[in-house]
């Protein structure tokens, strides 16, 4: 019976040949510290939620009192149904409608927040 062709293994940033094993276990590596996983740098993409003020996907959870870095609105759970109400919470005397108006005019939920905001990233569209 002819010998099986060698399998390829990713070791030390290069592809090397490695004999095929009859069992499910791999033979010991020549240099165990050099062995790395091929997909070790793969990350999961976090689900983002849209800011109720600017509309960009910057929030990790809805209604979590998180600050949007694009418009500086703190998401206190206010939505379209009560956008005109002033809640006097973390957003002060701003209603969501006022904050949206300011964002459309100057790029922040209020002009005083302009030094703190940043542009939206492509992944936040």
Q: What is the pTM (predicted TM-score) of this model?
A: 0.63
34 and 64 both lie in a single domain: no
pLDDT tens per residue, the chain (125 residues)? 555 555 544 444 444 454 444 445 545 555 555 554 444 555 555 789 999 999 999 999 999 999 999 999 999 999 999 999 999 888 999 999 999 999 999 999 999 999 999 999 999 99
78 and 123 both lie in a single domain: yes
38 and 71 both lie in a single domain: no
Secondary structure of residue 120 in the 3-state scheme: coil
Report yes or no: 59 and 125 within 8 Å, Cβ to Cβ: no
Range of the domain at 10: 1-42
């Amino acid at each position: 019976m002819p010998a099986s062709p060698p399998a390829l293994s990713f070791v030390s940033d290069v592809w090397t040949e490695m004999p095929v094993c009859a069992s499910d276990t791999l033979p010991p590596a020549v240099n165990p510290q050099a062995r790395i996983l091929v997909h070790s740098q793969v990350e999961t993409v976090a689900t983002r939620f849209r800011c109720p003020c600017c509309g960009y996907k910057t929030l990790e959870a809805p209604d979590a009192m998180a600050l949007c870095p694009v418009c500086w609105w703190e998401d206190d759970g206010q939505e379209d149904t009560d956008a005109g109400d002033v809640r006097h919470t973390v957003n002060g005397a701003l209603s969501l409608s006022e904050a949206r108006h300011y964002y459309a005019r100057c790029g922040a939920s209020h002009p005083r927040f302009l030094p703190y905001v940043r542009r939206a990233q492509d992944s936040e569209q």
